[in-house]
Structure 1
Amino acid sequence: MAEAHEAVAFSFTVGPEGFNVDVSYDVFKALIYAGLRSWKLRYRRTLNSLYNSLYPGHPLRGIACCGIVSVLYFKGHDPSFNAIDWLDEHIFQRYFARKNAKIIACITFGAGVYVVLTQVRQYTLKKLFSYHGWMYHEHGTELGLVPKIWSVLVKLCVGRNPSLYSCQNLLPTLPLPSLDDTLQRYLRSVRPLYDDSEYQRMERLAEEFKQTIAKKLQRYLWLKWIISSNYVSDWWEKFIYLRGRSAIMVNSNFYGLVRILIDYTERKKQTHRISKLVFFFIKDAVYVRPTTIQTARAANITCAAFRYRTELDHETVKPLMVQKLIPLCSSQYERQFNTVRIPGKETDKIVHYSDSHHIAVYHKGRWYKVYMFYKNTLLEPCELQLQLDEILRDTTLPDNGEEHLAALTAGERPLWAEARQTYFRSGINRYSLEAIEKAAFVLILDDEDFEIGTRDKNTPVSAAEKGNMTGKFDEYAHAILHGKGYNRWFDKSFTFVVSKNAVFGFNVEHSWADAPISGHMVEYVLSEDILYYGYNELGNTRGTPRFTALKPVKLRWNISENCQIMIEKSLSQAKKIYNDVDLHVFVQDAYGKGFMKKCKLSPDAYIQMALQLAHYRDSGHFNLTYEASMTRLFRDGRTETVRSCSIESSLWVKAMEDPNVTKAERIKLLRLACDYHQQQYRDAMTGKGIDRHLFCLYVVSKFLGLDSPFLQQVLQEPWKLSTSQTPTVYDDKLFQKLIAQKPELAEKIGWSKLKGVVGAGGGFGPVAADGYGVSYIIASEDLIFFHISSNKSSSETDSQRFGQHIGKAMADMRELLEGEARNAGASKTSTE
């Protein structure tokens, strides 16, 4: 209890000898420092807000403009054409002395001119950012005249060194597609899924919808488009995520595996022989762990995450730019830290706190509050490791109900909402729950090992070992996705998980943002972990503690028997869900995007076609396929759906299964399918998608109480194959900068030629009960991870089997295209 007392500022008791006051001065000082930090943060955010409102201008340029106007005016050269005199005579002389009034009039005119020029520049940029013709430019061909002019104008108008949110007001609004375009695209997308009679039925439903309520719904949606920054995102968050009453574990949350891939690929061109040796080395020694000490790894990544949070607060993280010209929307970054999803009986809500000075830590059934600042200074990893070591040494038993408490966040939402409302509204339970919910994030110190590819980098991997490694990847993925159902707090924006032997993964609540946002943060954390902080010879954190920080606070709970019954009920629901998950990580290392690019095919389109072929072989028929595409070229954009199963892809798949079709015809159909997929992807990114528009029309119909058989059919169609690519968004320049900061270390451990570090990607649960969820990451030129999920209870699916089909499809496509390359080479030789 001594540690718990440190969490309160003072306490007093009344006894025979009078009042006995116990004051914790350390906590009083911590509160003062916290207040100072909050005011500094507000001050910085205010300055950033001013800077962002003027971008691509700058406040200093505004001051310079006012100064130039004043100097010219007092030198007898009036740049205002008597506007300054008018301001002086009619406004400012009433309130100020004559000389001061003229100065203020000059400053007012100069500021006004600068604001107007900035507004013109902002309006011009917004219009330029609305042009997306550059996206449809074929890679490898010369830009046309219009894209060239557009590129020059953007470079002239855009400002230098934008902060994270500088470009938010410059981003265009997501366009509202026309009804005719959406309905035509929809009918084309479902043609491969239906026979003639079913397709004709869908055509009739679409025509009936168009002739009855569609135009009315479109008019109401147009009004929402007029008054909102994005007509989709708020409804998508509310109705798709927060209104869901089923468990978010597996069904909504996603996970990331953060094994470090060392890519020693040289930047300069190498001979074929050297490149082959380099790639062989990658295959046999891809996985490196910087330490095996759990608390050291946890301390480094936690401090790195807080460094990243500081950069977010200061807005020094640069916005991601497409083609180094077009900024992507950064609004999702705002709720990355200090955020929690609060359960409700009918709908959940997202609560974001402006700041947090601690993290919540779980270890062996016990919850702790760990302070990350001392005297307004962020702890160093060596100081944090001492606190985490103390948690590991703590022999205190969990309070009644504490060990399985987090299972409430893993079960159905109404049960958790009822328990929270009944048993966590006051007293010690409220204080402890707030300590978790108001934490920057949650850190789990797992009590299990994950042995994945831990080996000497010169030791080759046998086929049997490789298969065993894949099985361990599956165990690792299961652990990060759902754990035991009670050792993850699924409501927090993200949770770091560090195993007993220092393997790192993360679990993310999905409603507040999409996967690339978390991926960006984790890649930053990885580079800081390895190159900025590092470890000593024993695997511990570096440095010497500067002071004795506050001890970790063991959170106390008073959980009644009735509440424990609800916890166990929620845990039972969670077990039923995660025991049904069939999760498999398929490692494709025969070839990767290098070969695909040589064949002049988009890697993403290529992989999507492989998935179509694999799924057709697995199920025997075509199914509705979902691929997530981002819409962050627009303000507050999130995602749109690319329907990967198309007429073109189905024709190619049938050709691959028909022995009478020639290889030349198969290749032709494959290229047509990839080209059409790329066209769909570009359309989705530029606001010409199908599904978000139809979804919003459906929401409007429900608000108006209008039923539409067509919209009901569309929204009820199951996504039997749900896919997503995990991008590697890491800033390579930042990585090289970090290497430059530690040249001796980089050279000593052989990282001077290091091109980048990437994880093994991540995944999510299946969307349909009898379908697959597939997430993939193109980790390097010769390595792709596929995370495949399905339900064991479905007789139609098997994740291991589907992984084998993916491998076979990739091999067949390589054989097909290698034949084309050989024929092209032979033809060239004969011509010569």
Structure 2
Amino acid sequence: MSSPTKTWLALVRIFSGRHPMLFSYQRSLPRQPVPSVQDTVHKYLESVRPILSDEDFDWTAFLAQEFLRLQASLLQWYLRLKSWWATNYVSDWWEEFVYLRSRNSLMVNSNYYMMDFLYVTPTPLQAARAGNTVHALLLYRHHLNRQEILPVRGCGGWRVGVLEGGWGTTWPWRRVSSPRVPQTLLMGMRPLCSAQYEKIFNTTRIPGVQKDHIRHLGDSRHVAVFHRGRFFRVGTHSQSGLLSPRALEQQFQRILDDPSPACPREEHLAALTAAPRDMWAQVRSSLKSQAQDALEAVEGAAFFVSLDCEPAGLSKEDPAASLDSYAHALLAGRGHDRWFDKSFTLIVFSNGKLGLSVEHSWADCPISGHMWEFTLATECFRLGYSADGHCKGHPDPTLPQPQRLHWDLPDKIHPSISLALRGAQTLSGSIDCHVFPFSHFGKSFIKHCHLSSDSFIQMALQLAYFRDRGQFCLTYESAMTRLFLEGRTETVRSCTREACNFVRAMEDGEKTIPQCLALFRLAVDKHQALLKAAMSGQGVDRHLFALYIVSQFLHLQSPFLAQVHSEQWRLATSQIPVQQTHLFDFHNFPDYVSSGGGFGPADDNGYGVSYIFMGDDMITFHISSKKSSTKTDSHRLGQHIEDALLDVASLFQEGQRLTRGFRGLRENLGHRCNSPSPHIRASRVTTSTST
């Protein structure tokens, strides 16, 4: 670490005080640097070499050289000029052009989901779970408003990621002992930007004909609730402050007990938020003039709550299918039971299972993930439930009934609702979700091999994808740039020449284990170098994206930038966050940890893969693809991932015995033993009514 960096860190530590608040470090954060355009183009060519034929690569290299000769200097000059006056040279354009100007449906294409605990449900009572969870979420908002949430500081290997629905991070509070981790980040002192926390609550994405915009309110004292096609406004505060969990449970139970039917077309109204954005913008103008109060109650809510009529979660009868169905319900639902414009929708199923559906434009997943960890830990361990499954405390009979929202829907929007519903149902039906916990080894085994856990998984994914498709592809893995002011994400292009060499060696029956292991370590080292570059603002994709935007503003045609902009990410990957390990007792309560979440594929013929390390000995994978594609199959890729992980583990002496034992068991069973297998994991599905 250089002397100026050490001095800067020391000054930041001194002037932030002993008890820094959430936004204490914002003024001290550096601006994201603009990389050298020559370096960026060189790195780009290096990244695409493994997946292009000699002829295609020569053509791409020619376009790159023409770009450097003709347009690069001018575009780079404008970009540096912007970096001098803008807070961040890329983040505002990223938000606008990747998210707000996209005209596609938010459902599947942009939103992502988070799951509840995998093996336990603290209470089977739907209203009680909703009461505790809503109260915990509003407690988090209270801490947020008072800046009582501790700011996160970067440390070795910390990464955050989101691709238009993807996301990930590793543990920011734990040191990673691998010698391959960038040592300049091991201090755990460098603060990360907290700007994205501001819009978690009271935020809605408002559709526009050409461009959406984000509406954020300073406060909101109610939540909007959807149940059986009806909308309600539920106040969250009384004159004495935030309602107790038991009082909130009472209000949700009143909604569940309300026998009134949905009004015509009201039941499917929310499908409009899953429609193409320009269509929804036009319909919303009519809706606003006819049902302004009801629309304002939804869009002005702290967040949206959906009380589903169906159960969800892991079941003993069919563990694999139940998890797949659970993921699908969170990602897409039925197409008309989520308000996809809200910053997030809390989904509470009839058996007490939970989940989140999160809109993506306002922030990246580590922000909502931080909130979700606090929520699960608080509602389960701090608030708890009584022996009969209800929230602790007593109901409040003086509370007014939840307010039913009435929509005066003009006849001219009825066809639009029907059209939006058909489109949403078609999109929902096209998604193939597959979730499976891999329980044969986890983070502890990988650390014992002195490797980065993320790099280990990424190389296994390259092997699995090659076996699935017989070829390599551009791979998107997100890395955080929150080391810089208002930084968001950068791409780690995980399909490297080193990774391809390793995969080919694994598929070559003549290569020895030491040879494969040597190539594997080279691939891991390369991945770590790319990760370090991405985190430090020296990545490829955000720079090329910003150059492309400048070229569009200046009406300069660049075949090279146009080709880069048109690339398809057939494999989009991300690791899921467990950021606040101090909130969970993995040793005494190993089942009380979120089972992660996932996102839709970035390409119609591609996969979306996310993964979470659950404790030390399990990795849960979330895979998505399109059923309409003849080239992909989420379950098939899941089997390849399992086999790839075991094959990579077998390269290490510690993994050979484990792998032999598992494969012998699978052969004896005579069928696929893909976790969660009925004989291994189903017995852990429990419902607890006390903590």
Report the TM-score, using the length of structure 1 for normalisation.
Answer: 0.73
For 2:16 and 2:281, how far apart are their aligned partners in 1? 48
Deviation at 1:453, TM superposition (A): 4.5
Deviation at 1:194, TM superposition (A): 1.0
Contact 1:172/1:634 (<8 A) preserved: yes
Trace 1:59-98 onto structure 2 (pairs within 5 A): none
Bigger relative contact order, structure 1 or 2, given CA contacts below 8 A and separation 6+? Answer: 2
Give the secondary structure class of the aligned counterpart of 2:614: strand
For 1:600 and 1:320, how far apart are their aligned partners in 2? 26
For 2:642 and 2:598, how far apart are their aligned partners in 1? 18
1:181 matched residue in structure 2: 39
Q: Aligned to 1:368, which of 232, 237, 241?
A: 232
Deviation at 1:149, TM superposition (A): 7.9
Q: Aligned to 2:569, which of 704, 707, 719?
A: 719
1:513 aligns with 2:513: no
1:389 aligns with 2:247: no
Give the secondary structure class of the aligned counterpart of 2:99: helix
Q: Aligned to 1:560, which of 410, 417, 422?
A: 410
Give the secondary structure class of the aligned counterpart of 1:780: coil
Q: Aligned to 2:145, which of 313, 316, 323?
A: 313
1:240 matched residue in structure 2: 98
1:411 matched residue in structure 2: 275
Letter in 1 for 2:461: L
Deviation at 1:202, TM superposition (A): 1.1
Deviation at 1:198, TM superposition (A): 1.4
In structure 2, the CA distance between the partners of 1:542 and 1:617, relative to structure 1 (3 Å rule), is same
Give the secondary structure class of the aligned counterpart of 1:777: strand
In structure 2, the CA distance between the partners of 1:403 and 1:355, relative to structure 1 (3 Å rule), is same
1:575 aligns with 2:425: yes
Letter in 1 for 2:261: L
Trace 1:484-523 onto structure 2 (pairs within 5 A): 484-523=334-373
1:659 aligns with 2:509: yes
For 1:550 and 1:150, how far apart are their aligned partners in 2? 55
For 2:87 and 2:141, how far apart are their aligned partners in 1? 26
2:470 matched residue in structure 1: 620
1:645 matched residue in structure 2: 495
1:788 matched residue in structure 2: 623
2:636 matched residue in structure 1: 801
After alignment, is 433-442 or 537-546 more displaced?
Answer: 537-546
For 1:297 and 1:630, how far apart are their aligned partners in 2? 33
1:474 matched residue in structure 2: 324
Letter in 2 for 1:368: F
Deviation at 1:602, TM superposition (A): 0.4
1:551 aligns with 2:383: no
Letter in 2 for 1:573: G
For 1:252 and 1:757, how far apart are their aligned partners in 2? 28
For 2:397 and 2:151, how far apart are their aligned partners in 1? 36
For 1:310 and 1:662, how far apart are their aligned partners in 2? 58
* Number of residue-to-residue matches in the alignment: 625
For 1:471 and 1:675, how far apart are their aligned partners in 2? 37
Trace 1:5-154 onto structure 2 (pairs within 5 A): 133=1
1:299 matched residue in structure 2: 131
Q: Aligned to 1:440, which of 302, 307, 331?
A: 302
For 1:770 and 1:310, how far apart are their aligned partners in 2? 43
1:289 aligns with 2:118: no
Contact 2:204/2:341 (<8 A) preserved: yes
For 2:416 and 2:53, how far apart are their aligned partners in 1? 48
Cα deviation per residue 1:557-591 (whole Å; 9 max; x = unaligned)? 11133212111101111112111111111221111
Trace 1:144-293 onto structure 2 (pairs within 5 A): 158-259=16-117, 287-293=119-125
Cα deviation per residue 1:797-829 (whole Å; 9 max; x = unaligned)? 00000000000000101111127989xxxxxxx
For 1:295 and 1:219, how far apart are their aligned partners in 2? 58
Cα deviation per residue 1:103-152 (whole Å; 9 max; x = unaligned)? xxxxxxxxxxxxxxxxxxxxxxxxxxxxxx49xxxxxxxxxx99888876
For 2:439 and 2:243, how far apart are their aligned partners in 1? 41
1:116 matched residue in structure 2: none
Letter in 2 for 1:690: V
Give the secondary structure class of the aligned counterpart of 2:288: coil
Structure with bigger gyration radius: 1
For 2:18 and 2:508, how far apart are their aligned partners in 1? 56
For 2:374 and 2:598, how far apart are their aligned partners in 1? 20
2:174 matched residue in structure 1: none
For 2:10 and 2:265, how far apart are their aligned partners in 1? 64
For 2:9 and 2:482, how far apart are their aligned partners in 1? 19
Cα RMSD of the aligned pairs, angstroms, is: 1.9
Contact 1:383/1:545 (<8 A) preserved: yes
Q: Aligned to 2:288, which of 425, 428, 438?
A: 425
1:344 matched residue in structure 2: 208
2:447 matched residue in structure 1: 597
Deviation at 1:596, TM superposition (A): 0.7
2:218 matched residue in structure 1: 354
**Greater percentage in helix:** 1
For 2:452 and 2:565, how far apart are their aligned partners in 1? 30
2:599 matched residue in structure 1: 764
Contact 1:629/1:685 (<8 A) preserved: yes
In structure 2, the CA distance between the partners of 1:793 and 1:499, relative to structure 1 (3 Å rule), is same
For 1:589 and 1:821, how far apart are their aligned partners in 2? 16
Contact 2:590/2:615 (<8 A) preserved: no
Letter in 1 for 2:151: P
Letter in 1 for 2:22: L
For 1:408 and 1:425, how far apart are their aligned partners in 2? 13
Letter in 2 for 1:172: P
For 1:724 and 1:349, how far apart are their aligned partners in 2? 27
Letter in 2 for 1:592: G
Deviation at 1:425, TM superposition (A): 2.5
Give the secondary structure class of the aligned counterpart of 1:426: helix
For 1:557 and 1:539, how far apart are their aligned partners in 2? 35
For 2:651 and 2:401, how far apart are their aligned partners in 1? 63
For 1:379 and 1:315, how far apart are their aligned partners in 2? 21
For 2:476 and 2:14, how far apart are their aligned partners in 1? 39
Give the secondary structure class of the aligned counterpart of 2:113: strand
Letter in 1 for 2:534: A
For 1:513 and 1:151, how far apart are their aligned partners in 2? 26
Give the secondary structure class of the aligned counterpart of 1:788: strand
Letter in 1 for 2:300: K
For 2:192 and 2:435, how far apart are their aligned partners in 1? 30
Deviation at 1:217, TM superposition (A): 0.3
Contact 2:16/2:25 (<8 A) preserved: no
For 1:597 and 1:810, how far apart are their aligned partners in 2? 15
For 1:496 and 1:228, how far apart are their aligned partners in 2? 35
In structure 2, the CA distance between the partners of 1:154 and 1:421, relative to structure 1 (3 Å rule), is closer
Letter in 1 for 2:103: R
Give the secondary structure class of the aligned counterpart of 1:786: strand
2:263 matched residue in structure 1: 399
In structure 2, the CA distance between the partners of 1:355 and 1:151, relative to structure 1 (3 Å rule), is closer
1:669 aligns with 2:519: yes
Deviation at 1:477, TM superposition (A): 0.4
| Runs of 4+, deviation exceeding 2 Å | 145-159, 751-758, 818-822
In structure 2, the CA distance between the partners of 1:210 and 1:525, relative to structure 1 (3 Å rule), is same
Deviation at 1:677, TM superposition (A): 0.2
For 1:291 and 1:425, how far apart are their aligned partners in 2? 39
Contact 2:384/2:391 (<8 A) preserved: yes
For 2:559 and 2:5, how far apart are their aligned partners in 1? 43
